[in-house]
Structure 1
Amino acid sequence: MASRLPSVPLPIDQSDVVYEHGPDSIRRDEVSRGVTADFTINDSEIYPGTERTVWVHRPAGSGGAALPVMFFQDGWWYLDPEDDVRGGIVLDNLIHDGAIPPMIGVFVDPGVFPGVDDPRKRKNRNLEYDAFDDRFAEFLLHDVLPRVDEIAPTIDDPESRGLCGGSSGGNGGITAAWHRPDAFRKVIALVSSFAQIPGGNPYPRLLATTPRKPLRIFLQESHRDLGWDEPEDNWFAENLRTAAALAEAAYDFRLVLGEGGHTGNHGGVLLPDALRWLWRD
């Protein structure tokens, strides 16, 4: 049966648009809240000298059973119940409704260098998320996951692990899954900064020349993303090129275009639908 969608007029202004959250992103009285614990990592050998907080959100009544896991880059920003994404609320609501399987949400902050005052040098975010290598995947597997399993055991299966992030965190998630499909198979990438990868966006070329990997990828992009009308460093164009390459390589992927600029608003509002699609089987 065909899906029928109501008619909604398109906004004329493509820049100054704010999407409203739906009921899946709002705390509901009948939904039991998950339990959130946190820990600090300050001994990473992959990113030496950094410190960060990790929040582990497990569904209510999960007991000790091993569950699938979603990793969220930019941890607190994606967990904050007052911000755009509201990851913990969304997970609680969708699990309660049976829309996704019970799963652990792991919200990982990017690393900072304690004691460094210069904000440009203090943050390790771009080095972690924009680098085109396997270090971030290795960091999640070796520095984060074992400590998560001590709090809430996860299923040791790449089909049961997903990644979600925006901007640099978006292409960081895709890069982790690209290098380690044996560990991660599902990705949500929002307003991704493919143009910011050192050496340029490698994915259009790689997707055309590399045998298809067992990945499922949800892309969201905004019409007025950074450099949208520029010949270089055009984040909008690089997202479209990546989506086209995924289509031509017959990947299991979905692209949703929206209005607005380089913000988390549209992607955050879409998170419930993205998770439904990502975990649909």
Structure 2
Amino acid sequence: MSPDVPFRPLPLDLTDVRHLPGPDSTVHEGVPRGTVTELHLDPSGVFPGTTRTVRVHVPAQYDPAHPASLLVLQDGAGFLDPSGDLRVGVVLDNLVHGGDLPPTIAVLVDPGERDGVPDADRPRRERQRNREYDAFDDRYATFLLDEVLPEVRQRWAVTDDRDRWAIGGFSSGGSCALTAAWHRPDDFRRVLCLLPSFPQVTGGDPYPGLIASTPTKPLRLFLQAGHRDLGWDEPEDNWLAEHLRVAAALLEAQYDVRLVLGDGGHDPQHGGVLLPDALRWLFRP
């Protein structure tokens, strides 16, 4: 039976559109709250000279006798902030409590801080976040699999079923998620890309051509695009157009893809509203 989608008029003025969050993004009385543990990784072998914080959100329903699903997110502090747009801890608490997801551990990874200098004090091209997230190679996936996740799995039981492993992010963190999954599809098979920064990938966006010429990988992808993303009405460096090219290539290659196009600019607000349904869709059997 087809679901009914209620009528909603389209806004005519797109200069300042905000999507209102739904109930799954709101704290509710009586819903058990997960715990957050901070891990400090110092130093990194894959990214020498860097240190970073990793936060691990563990649901109240976690039972080590039943290994949990795994969600890895870049820009971890931004995803976890309960007053921000994404609020992944609140979302997971609600979805696990409601039975929409099995107990799921979220590993929230911050970009590295290099040589003790915060990224905000560096020119954009020299920022460690961009070095890690925008590179088209397997180093970031290797960093997660060899350095971050072993630390997590020493402390908590995580399933070996890679169909219950997801990776995601916003902006460069979103394109980074696809890059990690593309290079290591035997480990990361569920991918969340919120306004990914494909035009910013080092050397140029390789995905439309690669997807068309490479045998299909075992990936399921949720893509969120914004009508007013960066350069949306420009002939070059158009982030919306490049994102749609990647989505089209994935669809033509018969990947399991859901693309949601919304009004709004390059910010996580709409992605945060979609996050509960995105996780339901990615983790569906």
Q: TM-score, normalised by structure 2?
A: 0.96
Q: Residue 156 of structure 1: CA displacement?
A: 2.3
Aligned 8 A contact 1:111 1:123 in 2: no
Return the alpha-carbon distance in structure 2 between the equivalents of residues 60 and 13 of structure 1: 43
Instruction: Note the alpha carbon deviations across 1:130-169, whole angstroms, 9 max, x for none.
Output: 1000011001101100111122221123212101101000
CA deviations 1:93-121 (Å, max 9, x no partner) are: 00111111111011100111243263337
The one-letter amino acid of 2:123's match is R
8 Å Cα contact 2:35-2:59 kept in structure 1: yes
Partner of 1:155: 159
- Is 1:139 paired with 2:149? no
The sequence identity of aligned pairs, in percent, is 56
Within 2, Cα distance between the matches of 1:135 and 1:230? 32
2:122 maps to which of 109, 119, 124 = 119
Work out whether 1:44 is the aligned partner of 2:44: yes
Q: Is the 2:75–2:173 Cα contact (8 Å) retained in structure 1?
A: yes
Tell me which amino acid in the other structure corresponds to 2:262: G
1:219 alignment counterpart: 223
8 Å contact from structure 1 (residues 158, 181) kept in 2: no
Query: Would you say 1:27 and 2:32 are equivalent positions?
Result: no
Distance change >3 Å, CA 211–CA 62, structure 1 → 2: same
Q: Which residue does 1:244 correspond to in 2? A: 248
Counterpart CA distance in 2 for 1:15 and 1:55 is 35
SS at match of 2:85: coil
List per-residue Cα deviations over 1:8-50 (Å, max 9, x = no partner). Answer: 1111123410111110000111210111111111211101111
Per the alignment, residue 260 of structure 2 pairs with 256
Aligned letter for 2:122? Answer: P
SS in 2 for 1:90: helix
SS at match of 2:123: helix
Tell me the equivalent position of 1:272. Answer: 276
* C-alpha distance in 2 between matches for 1:277 and 1:233: 30
The residue aligned with 1:176 is: 180
Mapped to 1, the partners of 2:230 and 2:181 lie a distance apart of 25
* Residues 164, 283 of structure 2: 8 Å contact kept: no
CA contact (8 A) 2:61 2:103 kept: no
CA distance in 1, matches of 2:15, 2:141: 34
Which residue does the alignment assign to 1:234? Answer: 238
Counterpart Cα distance in 1 of 2:275 and 2:117: 34
List runs of 5+ in structure 1 lacking aligned partners: none
Q: Secondary structure at the match of 1:12?
A: coil
1:80-91 → structure 2 map (5 Å cutoff) = 80-91=81-92
Q: State the superposition RMSD in angstroms.
A: 1.2
TM-score norm. by structure 1 comes to 0.97
- The whole-number CA distance in structure 1 between the counterparts of 2:35 and 2:52 is 20
Q: Tell me what 2:55 maps to.
A: 55
SS state at 2:37 partner? strand
Q: How many residues align?
A: 281
